[in-house]
Amino acid sequence: MAIESRLPLAGKSAVVTGAGRGIGRSIALALAEAGADVAVTARTHSEIEQLAEQIQGMGKRSLFMPCDVTKPEQVEQMAKTFLAGLGGIDILVNNAGNAGSHKLLNHPDELWHRMLAINLTSVYYVSKAFLPPLIEQKWGRIITIASIASRVGGRYIAAYTAAKHGVLGLTRAMATELNPYNITVNAICPGYVDTPMTDASVSNIIARTAMPEVKARAALEQTSPQNRLMEPAEIAATVVFLALETSKGITGQAINIDGGGIMS
């Protein structure tokens, strides 16, 4: 118990969406290491089941439930299940998302709607579902994993960029509205991160350009002045920092993690 009491998030409960792999998985484990109980959701049952077992092996409570966060009825059921199982929530991490690209010329409407649904509307659904207990207890942390595409435009990613810009607007609106309840709302804006989603981007570059894999990956690395992909642990550590009581003065912010590419 003496060791547990020194953990900065001991006694807190967290929910992480898109937790099956990559950034979301790293975030869930970092929150548990900091002392929080963590419920995890994603679409792939086996991945979040294994993750929940790993968190339980760390001595923390963990729940898992598959959920498509673009479906409001599934989100409502997930929220009810996690709130009942955890006995409440303190930290919500909106991490679920996906990327897709196409030239604006002849851009598929389906891609537009899909990018907005998974990257923006899902944040609205999930945040809204967990707001009542946060407001009632007058304390909370809502942290959304956005993107550097929330800050700048980019070629061939009109839908993704629009969705991620929307996430930043939603973050700032929620931060303003929830300030009286001691709920902070922030966004983290990573550049390219070494995850399966970036692997898919590399594969897409190869398919469209016939570029060798090494060069395709290097092209993404060079989008950062540090000439590297960011690491999931860097994003996870920032989530833990924002979740601390001592970070209560930080709200409505977009924190870049891109090796200095965007300095504003």
How far apart (Å, rounded) are the C-alpha atoms in residues 70 and 54?
A: 27
Q: Which residue in 124, 125, 156, 160 is the catalytic one?
A: 160
How many CB atoms are located within 10 Å of the residue 169 CB?
12
Active site residue 124: no
29, 110, 189, 191 from 261: Cα distances, Å:
28, 31, 11, 8
How far apart (Å, rounded) are the C-alpha atoms in residues 111 and 225?
A: 30
> What are 213's two structure tokens?
């894999």
User: H/E element holding 110?
Assistant: helix 109-116
**244: three-class secondary structure by DSSP:** coil
Cross-strand pairs, 256 = 189
Please state the length of the chain: 264
95, 134, 135, 204, 262 from 181: Cα distances, Å:
23, 8, 6, 44, 31
- Note whether 92 and 27 are within 8 A (CB): no
Looking at the annotation, which residues are catalytic?
160
